[in-house]
Structure 1
Amino acid sequence: MPDQGNTRYEQLADEMAQAMRDGLLQAGERLPSVRQTCQRRGVSPSTVFQAYGLLETRGLIDARPRSGYYVRAQKRSARALPQLAPPRTEATAVAVSALAFELLESTRDPAVVPLGSAFPAAHLFPFDALARSGARAMRRVKPAQITGALTAGDAALRQALRRRYTLQGVPLAEDELVITNGAMEALNLCLQAVTVPGDVVVVESPTFYAALQALERLNLKAVEVATDPQEGVDLAALAELLARQKVAACWFMPTLQNPLGALMPSARKQALVALLARHGVPLIEDDVYGELYADVRRPPPAKAFDQAGGVLHCASFSKCLAPGYRVGWAAAGRYAPLVQRLKMMTSLATALPPQLAIADYLAQGGYDRHLRRLRAELAGEQQRARRLIERHFPAGTRVSRPAGGYFLWLELPPAVDALALHHRAMALGISTAPGVLFSADRRFVHHLRLNVGHPGDARVDDALRRLGELAIAELAAVR
């Protein structure tokens, strides 16, 4: 059976983390011994050791040899969070595809250090287990499954996804899910379902460049709304925008937003859904990074607060389990029948073998264990990368503090041209994602998104050092 809910050691770790946040366990304080915790909590030593190990991975405690475990002082970084100026308020035609294609081409070269890539390191994913699942599933496949999976997708996979939605507090109707060729097809189908050419779509500022590419392809206009690096979309600014502008849809990423890493608190997600429902504006929720949240409990998606069927929730396994399998989905609310028809009129179906492989893998019960390992590795690598940026980048550089995932958003000193920096870094075999990619009006000229999800890649440390040196040299040249 698949893992369901938190294990006992996760619950214990979560309770102790909350005690630290509440000030009941102070920085420098020694935690109860393993024996004491066993007696007080009625758990096994193994449970306590696993809980303490999880707290150590999350950077909340330190293990001291022959002394025990101590609450770690949570130092604030000397690097401040990026500051984002309010975006333009008028709708803008979009043209970012040429630069996005150039970036995609650069990340295909294995000799290039992939700080500009959209994917974490391949060794983080259980490809051997997925291959075994695929072989096992294909031996069992029946001819009726092939035609039965057309358009909506494999029934076993859809059932497994519905169970996971239910655990997140999001019950879905049986016919609401459509399996797609990755999340991008899901997002594009949902966008087509709620817009016509010339419509205005609200996006975050900055936003994921693939969203801008989708708007460009469908001849839609973008209007950007201010987005906080920690808490996501500015709801007051969005309310003001909706009051004065006719909007067809919003395309937002409320959980671990790309590129900022912002995590909208649950209460704000609920308020967002209610605001859009009042205006009759559908929300396309891009949730491809939600499983990479660095804490124990996955934050609920905005879809969890949808009462009117106006949230079209899109996700995939590409960033959390199976890059390259191209298995995504849309839970499209009241728009699900239209999304299914659009799927039938475009790609018709998603390839069955990868669906069967993932469905079998989920049935084996190891997915949540894999996610725990993946989250821990990415969290550790993010902390390490922030320390390297602190050491090597010019004074005045600001760095995001995401609650998970593998992207960092950097605001460099204003005199640094991030696109020029990107081209100079590419000459040294280092890719980056310059900030101009993440806005319809190419406004983030001294910003970078860096992919730090490459634990074990010895090249990354040197690449960050050299990138910092290039930024310092450019800054010196203009002074």
Structure 2
Amino acid sequence: MKKDFLYQEIANNIADKIRQGVFKTGERLPSVRMLSKEHGISMNTAKRVFLQLESQSLLQSKPQSGYFVSPLRFADLPLPEASRPLPDITNVEPSELIGSVYSNMGHGEKTLFSIGIPSGNLLPQARLKKEIIQASRTLREGGTEYEPLEGNAKLRRMIAVRSLAWEGNLNEEDLITTNGGMSALSLCLMATTRPGDTVALESPCYPGILQLVVGLGLQVIEVATHPVTGIEIEALKKVLHKIKVCLLVPNFNTPLGYCTPNEHKKQLVKLLTEHNIPIIEDDVYGDLHFGAERPKCCKSYDTEGNVLWCSSVSKTLAPGYRVGWVAPGKYREQVLKQKLLHFISCTSVVHEAVGNFLMTGKYEKHLRLLRHTLQENYRHYARIIAEYFPADTKISRPQGGLVLWVEFAKEMDTIKLYNYALKRQIVIAPGRMFSLQNQYQNCIRLCFGLPWTKELEFQLKQVGAFAKVLLR
């Protein structure tokens, strides 16, 4: 049995026992050494098991004492159901709803549970300003010139260095910079499809991706997903003959928050490569892992150049800077052509500044703090949902990222809940936004990238209270 698969299997078995009550709240688990001996695994692998369970808030570590079952009630809440979209090409964009939700951005008097980015209060704004000033001083002509078509060399080199952590093994020449993550996805779609082609997407799916695909004149097939493991491979196999491209968000997907197991990623790459179907991988959340290690990507298993790996710092460092990139594999020339046609060059000063920030090690220090804050926020949200939301509420269990998927009873209409909360200056994201089909009306997505305060806690409790009123 492969190491990654074994480690995940052991963690899943212990998690099941915790949820089934075999291991009781407050009970001490076997030590790392005992787990290592019992399963015939290394000490490092045993530590990964415990860190994985801790990242799911099922365990708490106590210095010099070991690991104990978490007393948090939300561990008992059921998971959302696996999605079951129709296996048809669909194109009914909920544009009015999406426009209404996103029109609330920039209104400081509103509590935005709806927008999946970290609050500016969680970002190193002062340090970034210094990098911008430094970049404008050191770049030739103060950064007013066009940079090379491939993009800023320092930024590409630092991204390549960081790819070693997830076995991407990229080099500077493999990468092309873009104006943010959505720009990277757009270039990849234009490089690999023509209007009328069909794209396979996970369901539910980030609304920005839905709008982008439809806006490019492409058709969509939504593929069933599981709230823990992600896209269901058997469901994908059934539509392979219809699709030209598969666009995936396997690491801490929004809105469900799952991290697709490595074995599944490997199978996906093998399957789609055999059918000559490009994989556009959106890995914008990959650095926001709660566990000890950054997860691998589909790109980690790509030997044929069939995966176009996209990412950015929009969810980790500076949403407004619009710094993204793509490693397009064998589609490099097609992506470069699309970049030349659509924007030629990125913003030189900003990309140089981010490259410097990565090079000095400041980025990794910032990420450690941000990951800890997001994990704590997730625990706060889950605790409030367990205590103040309707009794049959289901929630996802993200192992990283920024968002939580909440599923209410079938009779709930979360568009009504959205309108009800909006009158109180609270903005949520109704589930209908995340599909081109008429589904997820009883779900919402909540962003936990906001600073946790008494006021925020009160607002979240209010959402639960409103939900109870609507379900009476």
TM (norm. structure 1) is 0.85
Counterpart of 1:227 in structure 2 is: 225
Counterpart of 1:99 in structure 2 is: 97
Corresponding residue SS for 2:173: coil
Give unmatched runs, 5+ long, in structure 1.
1-13, 33-50
Question: Can you list the C-alpha shifts for 1:193-216, whole angstroms capped at 9, x where unaligned?
Answer: 111111111001101111110111
Paired residue type of 2:366: H
Shift of 1:176: 2.6
Counterpart of 1:391 in structure 2 is: 387
Shift of 1:183: 0.1
1:152 paired to 2:146: no
| Residue correspondences, number | 435
Paired residue type of 1:362: L
Q: 1:427 aligns with which of 394, 400, 423?
A: 423
- Quote the Cα distance in structure 2 between the aligned partners of 1:246 and 1:21: 40
Q: Which moved more, 1:169-178 or 1:259-268?
A: 169-178
Give matches, 1:277-296, under 5 Å: 277-296=273-292
Q: 1:212 aligns with which of 204, 210, 224?
A: 210
Paired residue type of 2:82: L
Q: Identity of aligned pairs, percent?
A: 32
Shift of 1:98: 2.8
Corresponding residue SS for 1:77: helix
Shift of 1:56: 10
Paired residue type of 1:253: V
Mark the CA change 1:29 to 1:441 in structure 2 (over 3 Å): closer, same or farther.
closer
- Quote the Cα distance in structure 2 between the aligned partners of 1:427 and 1:144: 47
Counterpart of 1:261 in structure 2 is: 257
- Quote the Cα distance in structure 2 between the aligned partners of 1:62 and 1:337: 49
Paired residue type of 2:319: P
Tell me if structure 2 keeps the 8 A contact 1:311–1:332. Answer: yes
Counterpart of 1:111 in structure 2 is: 109
Counterpart of 2:42 in structure 1 is: none
1:337 paired to 2:333: yes
Corresponding residue SS for 1:98: helix
- Quote the Cα distance in structure 2 between the aligned partners of 1:310 and 1:406: 28
- Quote the Cα distance in structure 1 between the aligned partners of 2:58 and 2:418: 32
TM (norm. structure 2) is 0.86
- Quote the Cα distance in structure 1 between the aligned partners of 2:412 and 2:57: 33
Give unmatched runs, 5+ long, in structure 2.
1-6, 18-22, 33-49
- Quote the Cα distance in structure 1 between the aligned partners of 2:100 and 2:420: 14
1:444 paired to 2:426: no
Corresponding residue SS for 1:103: helix
- Quote the Cα distance in structure 2 between the aligned partners of 1:91 and 1:153: 36
Alignment RMSD: 2.7
Tell me if structure 2 keeps the 8 A contact 1:62–1:72. Answer: yes
Corresponding residue SS for 1:324: helix
Give matches, 1:51-450, under 5 Å: 60-63=59-62, 69-74=65-70, 77-143=75-141, 147=145, 149-242=147-240, 245-450=241-446
- Quote the Cα distance in structure 2 between the aligned partners of 1:240 and 1:458: 49
Tell me if structure 1 keeps the 8 A contact 2:179–2:324. Answer: yes
- Quote the Cα distance in structure 2 between the aligned partners of 1:278 and 1:63: 48
Mark the CA change 1:232 to 1:29 in structure 2 (over 3 Å): closer, same or farther.
closer
| TM superposition outliers: structure 1 runs of 4+ over 3 Å | 20-23, 29-32, 55-64, 143-148
Mark the CA change 1:240 to 1:363 in structure 2 (over 3 Å): closer, same or farther.
same
Tell me if structure 1 keeps the 8 A contact 2:252–2:259. Answer: yes
Shift of 1:107: 2.8
Question: Can you list the C-alpha shifts for 1:283-309, whole angstroms capped at 9, x where unaligned?
Answer: 110111000010111011110101111
- Quote the Cα distance in structure 2 between the aligned partners of 1:397 and 1:456: 22
